[in-house]
Structure 1
Amino acid sequence: MSAQQKKGHVVAFAFPFGSHPTPLLHLVQRLAAAAPGVNFSYFNTAESNQKVLPTADLKSYDNIKAYDVEDGLPEGYVFSGNPLERIELFVKSTPDNFRRRLEEVVEETGLKASCLLTDAFLWFSVDMAAELGIPWVAFWTAGPAPISLHMYTDVIHSRLGQNAQNQDQTLDFLPGLSAIHASDLPHELLHLDQPFSRLLYDMSLALPRATAVVLNSFAGIDPDVETDLKSKLKRSSTHAAASVAYISFGTMLTPPPPELLALAEALEEKQIPYLWSFRDDSKRQLLQPLFRKTGSVGKVVEWAPQTPNPGASFGRGFRDALRWNSVVESITGGVPMICRRFRRPDDKQAACAGRVADWGGRGGRRFSKSGMMTALDVVMSVGEGKKMRENIGRLRECASRAVAENGSSTENFKSLVDIVTSSSHQE
């Protein structure tokens, strides 16, 4: 069946930083498999597409095509070193870069967009969808607690003040978020004077206008927050996504050399088997002597699959910034985490910190050798470590029920397919 013979054209806009592009592409692939009679277009920057597409196997889908959009970088631009600079330049180029590219694709293919499925950060999509007279489906790549925080930005400012001076104040005035302290809140939520901060705030105002909001989570992980979100959004749905320590810090940030050294020394002294995904060559050289000493019990690789076999006995830990994907992997793998929090542009650490505390995890701001040895003793122990795994096990059962034949995620996905293909049904 040719593209023109297919009914409908779902257009997906990716936010090209961190882990955001990959889960959106995975969702597009699942939808394309469920709706083979619908065309899907995936819009992302060229640099991000070069990283994401090689592992996506899009050749297996005759109804998905990927396109590059401008990244907002002037020719010959020299970066100042500000980690937010690349993001801010991209944000300034939106929505014109997406609008122009979409117009070109429609002209090239003759396929008008029937639905916009975009990263929630790209809030301007709600206006584009309204202009085109089509649905906007927003995809939130994390869980329910962080999106709830953003939607309560005005309330938080009113109760805590813009700078949240009382760092010990908890968010006990928000449904399901009483475990979070003011000190856990991301800078971008409290200070709205930067481009990225404004983007997140504008997103929080736009989400109630979405036809549907999809969360990279499963029902039951945050019941009070989920119930509250349903009252604020038109329609929301959740989409699922001990003997060995798995160590990884993601794709954007790693701890400074002294902390990496402390971590490596703790592993050496404890002689705990480990698999360390380490991409930073300059920092890896610093630790090479220690890696040689622990070569009999550990292995260092440049890349490892994001999700190991759930049946394997992995002590999942040392993930960057308590990232949501890592938390979900911890739950579905039934293993505890040792975390070091960072401040990142799309910081979801506050919500993750609250939820980790609920199942017995511990989040820290710095690695030290003594602290790491203590943490390793805890998560590997048959006492407190066993209790942590039991707590996580209960959430793992929720996840399993959600993706069962008649589970909430399964039913929500069916509803999502209906939403993104509804315009094509009317043609």
Structure 2
Amino acid sequence: MPQTSHQDSSTKPHVIVLAFPFGSHAAPLHTLVRKLATEARHVTFSFFNTEESNSSISVLESEDLDNLKAYNVPDGVPENYVFTGRRQEAIGLFMKSTQGNYKRAIHVAIGAKKISCVMSDGLLSFVAGEMAEEMKVPWVPFWIPASFTLYTHVHTDLIRRRIGTAIDATVGREDELINFLLGMSEFRIGDLQKEIVGADLDLPVAIAAHRMVQMLPRAAAVVINSYEELNPTITDYFKSKFQKCLNVGPFTIMPSEPSDSDQNGCLLWLDGQKARSVAFVSFGRALSPADHEIAALAEALEASGVPFLWSLKKSLWTVLPDGFLERTEGKGKLVSWAPQVEILVHPAVGVFVTHCGWNSVVESVMGRVPMICRPIFADHNLNARMVTDVWRIGVRLEGRVFTRDGTLRALDLIFDDEKARKKMREKMGVIKEMMIKAIGPGGSSSENFKTLLELISNLEA
């Protein structure tokens, strides 16, 4: 039962939470904090995030909790700044100003009130961890992707010694197995994040991730959006490495505040389609495939005759083949936003064409929808390998990119081979049950959440 208290807010333990406002990072952190705030009503939570990100994850849904409040932080973009198109440019501007912007926002929001704990996205370790040490309070980082992706980051220095740090260090070695990392023997060098080996070592996220690795052993607890049974070898390693390692996920399958309404009528459209007949296409909030790949995917969808529901940024509609929308009217539906969680559990959806972000993979498993994988960056290749070669619940595109013919063959593998699709769905059912068991009563994630709740509940005011 939630704890209640009539303490004055100035005498309550106070947790400040620092979000990373890019991609799908902020939403799971807010969900975690909301659940903690619901259970520990005597603790005050202040959630700091950019205005745009706060708006996108509907933090106002928390207005019913008087101990959780969201505050806006500047995004670091100078007034009248003109973007040049460099990769991670917005992230770089945010990171550059992060420490000062957060400190100023916290001072404006809570003044001189005592802070009892700092929670943060793992990528903000360089700010949150140092801030907590200055205040002499516990620091609790939350890693949003799967545990095996954190495992590779923790071994960044070892990986770089084995493979090298040159831009072309992985060329010709993409299919070599990562045999030197226990628990990763089914993954390959080409699956590793480019922020660890490859072309992206100097990008803001790569620098932040490497600094995070150095800070994590100093955290009071490292919280992960995964579950212990996913990889027991990695779970045991983290338990020996960190003061506390708490897998509390997958958090996207836990009940949370309702998503935005189905403003584009996606679910109503799906209601009119045959069972397991629709290809759902979505690449998340961050990056999309190259323009020529989007055009090739459109050509494949049209040529296949498969009904499709495609969530694509409006700015990218111009790269679709001329007349595509007119020729596919009635057969397909193109929208700028779609309620992904609800779509993936709809009985009409037969395949998910995805970038393989961790949240998307989990949501696809929960709907038992096989995947066609087109990883884009960061942890996507590792997740795609998990889907295609470890779990065997999806297919990878030939050459890892969309071409008309390669995409047609991938669609055929899913829709024309009923035996293969049935086997994938059966395997997904087993994985789904494992995830549900982890977050259920007495499950590993549920027990780890209790440990986290106890840590937060016993903070000093």
1:135 is aligned with what amino acid? P
* 1:136–1:212 contact (8 Å) kept in structure 2: yes
Identify the residue that residue 33 of structure 1 maps to in structure 2.
Answer: 38
Secondary structure class of the residue paired with 2:447 = helix
Supply the AA of the counterpart residue of 1:359.
W
Q: Which whole-Å deviations, capped at 9, do the CAs of 1:333-368 have from their partners, x for residues lacking one?
A: 22211111213xxx1123213311212233332111
| Secondary structure class of the residue paired with 2:418 | coil
Q: In the aligned structure 2, how far is the partner of 1:223 from the partner of 1:391?
A: 19
Summarize the Cα distance change of 1:6–1:290 in structure 2 as closer, same or farther, 3 Å threshold: farther
* 1:134 aligned residue (128, 132, 137): 137
Distance 2:414 2:402 in 1: 16
Q: Are 1:318 and 1:337, in contact at CA under 8 Å, matched by a contact in 2?
A: yes
Q: Does 1:162 align with 2:162?
A: no
Structure 1 residues 308 and 53 mapped into 2: Cα distance closer, same or farther (>3 Å)?
A: closer
Alpha-carbon distance in structure 2 between the residues aligned to 1:393 and 1:184: 26
Aligned-residue offset at 1:158: 1.5
Q: Unpaired runs of 5+ in structure 1?
A: none
Matched letter for residue 75 of structure 2: D
For residue 215 of structure 2, what is the aligned residue in structure 1? 206
Partner of 1:383: helix, strand, or coil? helix
CA contact (8 A) 2:220 2:244 kept: yes
Contact 2:77 2:93 in 1 (8 A): yes
Equivalent AA in structure 2 for residue 139 of structure 1: F
CA 419–179 in structure 1, closer or farther in 2 if over 3 Å, else same: same
Task: Work out whether 1:122 is the aligned partner of 2:119.
Answer: no
CA distance in 2 between counterparts of 1:350 and 1:271 reads 29
User: CA 1:309–1:372 in 2, change beyond 3 Å: closer, same or farther?
Assistant: closer
Q: Distance in 2 between matches of 1:367 and 1:189?
A: 25
AA aligned to 1:353 is A
Please tell me the root mean square deviation across aligned C-alpha atoms, in Å. 2.2
Q: Percent identity?
A: 39
Give the match for residue 353 of structure 2.
Answer: 318
Q: How does 1:231-380 map to 2 (within 5 A)?
A: 231-238=240-247, 239-241=249-251, 242-283=276-317, 286-287=320-321, 289-308=323-342, 311-313=345-347, 314-320=349-355, 322-343=356-377, 347-356=378-387, 357-360=389-392, 361-364=394-397, 365-380=400-415
Q: Of 89, 112, 115, which residue of structure 2 is paired with 1:113?
A: 115
Provide Cα deviations, 1:90-120, integer angstroms capped at 9, x if missing partner. Answer: 111132221222233231xx63211111000
Aligned equivalents of 1:47 and 1:199: distance in 2?
22
Deviation at residue 6 of structure 1 after TM alignment: 6.5
Q: Deviations over 1:32-76 (max 9, x none)?
A: 11112211111012232232336x512222111111223222222
Measure, in 1, the Cα distance between the counterparts of 2:427 and 2:163.
Answer: 32
Check whether the contact 1:6–1:38 (CA below 8 A) recurs between aligned residues.
Answer: no
Match in the other structure for 2:15: 10
Matched, 1:87 2:122: no
Instruction: Please report how far the alpha carbon of residue 137 of structure 1 lies from its aligned counterpart in structure 2 after TM superposition.
Output: 0.7
Q: Which residue of 1 aligns with 2:71?
A: 67
The two structures have a TM-score, normalised by structure 2, of: 0.85
Distance 1:352 1:130 in 2: 34
C-alpha distance in 2 between matches for 1:167 and 1:309: 34
In 2 relative to 1, CA 159–128 (structure 1 residues): closer, same or farther, beyond 3 Å? same
In structure 2, C-alpha distance between the alignment counterparts of 1:83 and 1:311, rounded to whole Å: 34
The aligned residue for residue 393 of structure 1 is: 429
Structure 1 residues 47 and 2: CA distance shift in structure 2, 3 A: farther
Q: Is the 8 A contact 1:318 1:339 kept in 2?
A: yes
Query: What amino acid maps onto 2:114 in structure 1?
Result: K
Query: What is the one-letter code of the residue matched to 2:292?
Result: P
Task: Deviation per CA, 1:118-156: give whole Å up to 9, x if none.
Answer: 000011212211221211111111011110000001111
CA contact (8 A) 2:278 2:308 kept: yes
Moved more, 281-290 or 146-155: 281-290
SS at match of 1:397: helix
SS of 1:117's partner is strand
CA distance in 2 between counterparts of 1:319 and 1:115 reads: 37
Is the 8 Å Cα contact of residues 295 and 319 (structure 2) preserved in structure 1? no
| Equivalent residue in structure 2 for 1:185, among 192, 195, 213 | 192
Instruction: Classify 1:193/1:20 alpha carbon distance in 2 versus 1 (closer, same or farther; 3 Å).
Output: same
Aligned residue type for 1:394: V
Q: Determine if contact 1:186/1:348 at 8 Å carries over to the other structure.
A: yes
C-alpha contact 2:345 2:366 (8 A) present in aligned 1: no
2:427 aligns to what SS in structure 1? helix
CA separation of 1:330 and 1:223: change in aligned 2, threshold 3 A: farther
**Alignment TM-score, normalising by the size of structure 1:** 0.91
Q: Which amino acid is 2:244 matched to?
A: R
Distance between the aligned counterparts of 1:316 and 1:231, measured in 2? 39
Amino acid corresponding to residue 10 of structure 1 in structure 2: V
- Output the CA distance in 1 between the equivalents of 2:156 and 2:212: 11
SS in 2 for 1:12: strand
Per-residue deviation, 1:275 = 1.7
Q: SS where residue 340 of structure 2 aligns?
A: coil
- The farther-off stretch of 141-150 and 325-334 is 325-334
How far the C-alpha of 1:194 sits from its partner, in A, is 4.2
CA contact (8 A) 1:6 1:39 kept: no
What whole-Å deviation, never above 9, does each CA across 1:6-28 have from its counterpart, x for those lacking one?
A: 72111110011111111111111
8 Å Cα contact 1:106/1:113 also seen in 2? no
Measured against aligned partners, the alpha-carbon deviations of 1:129-187 in whole angstroms (never above 9, x if no partner) come to 12212111111110111100000011111211223343333211112112222222222
Could you tell me how far 1:3 is from its partner in structure 2?
A: 5.9
Equivalent of 2:440, from 397, 400, 404?
A: 404
Gapped regions of structure 2 (runs ≥ 5): 1-5, 252-275
Residue aligning to 1:99: 103
> What CA distance in whole angstroms lies between the structure 1 residues aligned with 2:340 and 2:234?
27
- In the alignment, is the contact (CA less than 8 A) between 2:156 and 2:196 conserved in 1? yes
> C-alpha displacement at 1:256, in angstroms?
2.9
